[in-house]
Amino acid sequence: MRSDWLTQGPAIARFEAAVAARCGARYAVAVCNATAALHIACLAMGIKPGDRVWTSPNTFVASANCARYCGAVIDFVDIDPDTLNLSVDKLAKKLAEAERAGRLPQLLIPVHFAGQSCDMANIRQLADRYGFRLLEDASHAIGGSYRGLPVGACSFSDAAVFSFHPVKIITTGEGGMVVTNDEKLYRQLLLLRSHGITRDPDLMEGENEGAWYYQQVALGFNYRMTDMQAALGESQMIRLDGFVARRRELVARYQKAFADAPIQLQSVIESTDPAWHLFIIQTLRPEQRRPLFNALRAAGIGVNVHYIPVHTQPDFGRLGFRRGDFPYAEDYYERAISLPLYAGLSDEDQDYVIEQVLKGLRG
Ligand SMILES: *Cc1c(COP(=O)(O)O)cnc(C)c1O
């Protein structure tokens, strides 16, 4: 707060360097939120009106809206009912059909739901075969790993996006970041973050008219993060591993407590070590969800539901999507409850949550 900088200053570069180093990615671009990060990542990858972008229906609406901001046509790949991430089998089938119809996507946005990475190696194979780009929505997953590599290493993707909204694993109040190993993409992201304006003579068209001169060379936005937020982000990065370790401990306690309970838990695939943004239980039958949810709220527990399938939102209905289009995401939604999970949750408070869930299940 005592520094000379308010908007983008030296803390931005330090925060970007800290995230890039932690993820093992070459470049990082901080922006005002993850929605903006998704938007400029799509644009930097050349997504334009009429292009096709696919994502998971089991996500926050921003994973799909970023494509719509670019004028692209959004579509979804249904989820795997065990991992709750988009199903690679269903993706393969949908791609084969799309190829026959001449309607292949230009970009896929896999979402690392609840902090567990999608099976990126297999998704990469499909991307290579069918020629689309990959943008990881890693809003839930900073601090997690896949095949021993940190999420955000971008070993299997063109870029990944993190969110620093207060509900996420680390926060800057509002904030987001794109990480990538692709220098061309990085340069484009820097331009799009700040009005498409450059002071770099190498990027200018025609002459540099003097020391005062700048050029707008693309249609960009004001998506900058403030230096104050970046300073908060830097201090949060120091605590990231501690936060994730505590989240993993809490999830292990939940998993143990519910091992024999009549509920379904998200399965964890061996190649991942999730960061655990969310811990979700599913009732066996849809009609059990509402009474359990209401009983937990009445017991003073801040339960929630993640996510209402994006394609069932009215604004997506106007694009032609209907209930029934992605039945696994819909079936999951009807049975899902997110339990409290945050680094500051005490064992005692968690034990109370567990006790109330088990009590609620007994009816
Ligand atoms: C939170 C979230 C976003 C949007 O993040 P903001 O920083 O709030 O814009 C995008 N995708 C997913 C999966 C999220 O959970």
Domains in the chain: boundaries: 10-236, 240-362
**Is the CB–ligand 1 distance for residue 35 below 6 Å?**
yes
From 341, 359, 248, 332, select the one nearest 302 (Cα to Cα).
341
**Is the CB–ligand 1 distance for residue 140 below 6 Å?**
yes
At 150 the pLDDT is: 98
If you average pLDDT over residues 137-158, what whole number do you get? 98
Separation of CA 33 and ligand 1 centre (Å): 8
From 359, 313, 238, 234, select the one nearest 62 (Cα to Cα).
313
Share of the chain above pLDDT 90, in %: 97
* Identical fold, 10-236 and 240-362: no
Q: What is the CA radius of gyration of the chain?
A: 21
Ligand 1 atom with the smallest distance to the CA of 59 is 13
Ligand 1 atom with the smallest distance to the CA of 277 is 15
**Is the CB–ligand 1 distance for residue 62 below 6 Å?**
yes
CATH of 240-362, one of 3.30.499.10, 3.30.70.1380, 3.90.1150.10, 1.10.1060.10: 3.90.1150.10
CA distance 175 to 165: 6
Query: How far, rounded to the nearest angstrom, does the alpha carbon of residue 326 sit from its chain's CA centroid?
Result: 20
The domain 10-236: what is its CATH number?
A: 3.40.640.10
Whether pLDDT at 8 is above 90: no
How confident is the prediction for the chain on average, in pLDDT?
97
Looking from the CA of 359 toward its CB, the CA atoms found within 13 Å total 11
CA distance 119 to 87: 9
Query: How far, rounded to the nearest angstrom, does the alpha carbon of residue 362 sit from its chain's CA centroid?
Result: 35
If you average pLDDT over residues 326-349, what whole number do you get? 98
